[in-house]
Structure 1
Amino acid sequence: MIFAHLAKHWTARRGQPSPTSRLMSVLRSARVLLYWADHASLCQLDVVRNYVAAPSNDDVFHHLSHRDYLVKGLSARQRVQCVLSHYRFEETSFNAAYKQAVYASGGLALWQMEAAGSQFLIRLEMASRMNAEGDLTIALVADGKVLHRLSFSWVDGAIAGLQTGLVPLVARNQGRWTDSGEAFEAFENAFPNNSPSFFCFAAMQGVAGAVGMDQVAGVKCTAHPAYDPLDAKHFANAYDGFWKILGGVELPGDTWLISLPFYLKPLADMPSKHRK
């Protein structure tokens, strides 16, 4: 089973334009073989075997096939432990209906509403395997266009510098897609003085609360897998600045800690860059 997943991934990588990118992806994913027993255990989980490893997914082991995963600098061993923690929690906490919705049917609707002639939806779905910034995504959609995505994984608290058990670690906070201009205007008309990013984090709070968790960890901007020093201001606003607005506390390592329910001052008092 492991070899079959690797072969599928390596075959799919043939389509990458850069030979160097193809080679690096193959070499990184080959590290799966160094942790054979762990990945055999992973592949035996129903959520992985019957949902994550669907025919449309050619990168079951994206925690190793990418340069970084969740937090920049995690070792291969730490990544394996993170993905095991995440999917073991998914396996034992949720039923088949949840797995079908999240992993096979386009997402589980967490909230939906019609307002001002537009349709709004927040859904929980399997994260894209094109990046390694979390295994689940909370997406805010307006009239069929994604306005914001927040991606996370359930990880052991030690990875986030905490002494607790599992905690959701948010490693992607991204919005304002190039093709969403009209949809964003519809959102602003329906929900004046509100923000897609806060809608998504409110949903994250609800998901965490539903499984009895009262803390969320957020990656520091400089520890983000895609951090670019040339775009430091953007990353600081999207991550450290956002966690701080939520009442987050900066931890010594690579994360912020946001206690739930999160603190939220009036949006009118916030800089406009944090309302997008």
Structure 2
Amino acid sequence: MAFGQPKIEYKSNAQILKMREAGLVLAEALDAAEAAAQVGTTTAEIDAVFAAVLKRHGAQSNFKGYHGFPATICASVNHEVVHGIPGGYVLADGDVLKIDGGCIVEGWHSDSARTVIVGTADPADQRLSDVTQEAMWRGIAALAEARFVGQIGDAIDDFVSAQEGEPLGILEDYVGHGIGSEMHMAPDVLNYRTGHRGPRVKPGMCFAIEPMLVRGSIETHVLQDEWTVVTDDGARASQWEHTVAVHLGGIWVLSAHDGGEAGLAPFGVKPSPLQKL
């Protein structure tokens, strides 16, 4: 028996606007979590700050309880790449913290992540974060003109591969994804170049674009908590992510306060906000 590809969900403008509401709540919650990420703070305390913003807005966490995940954010430190569980770890000067979170507003999801370097940054770690962040924006900018989803990964890979100095690896086991009425949906959004074009980009598609880069080998494993992904060689990692919508007028970064205007400007791309109905 032949099985088809997972069905892609196409959102109406009204549904994209609901996702924008979720994205703005998420951006505020990430702002608060980032501000709380100071030397001496525990990752559990940062999770509580994030959760308080969601509660104030009446939004739901799409992380807590997801396949049993126990918190509202993933807090991954240093060699932890993604899916770290907040707890008693006390942040130290120079730690590289990835804060990944999301929320739901009236059934519609948002998902976004940032890398925060606590206290004084090692220049190599700062470069890692900066390159990862720009790789994300280059992927988003490519979406504005892309005919196929695979062109997002092409743009990310081409940029990272062209960097001089210490080589950075792009994780291949963890990728971006479609998003909408669920957090993880079709299609996968690869962060690297392959021979596969992926599905055609059409209005109504929404994506979580999230490159994850490491300073060493891209080989990883999952800890005994069955969540936290760490690099095999102990190298530090960075993650940046935004939720992005495609509509008839263009693209719109739903989890950025300004809709992606500042991040896209260097590439000559202007986001196209939808007007409230």
Compare CA radii of gyration and give the structure with the larger one.
Answer: 1
Higher normalized contact order (CA 8 Å, seq sep 6+, divided by chain length): 2
| TM-score (norm: length of structure 1) | 0.28
| TM-score (norm: length of structure 2) | 0.27
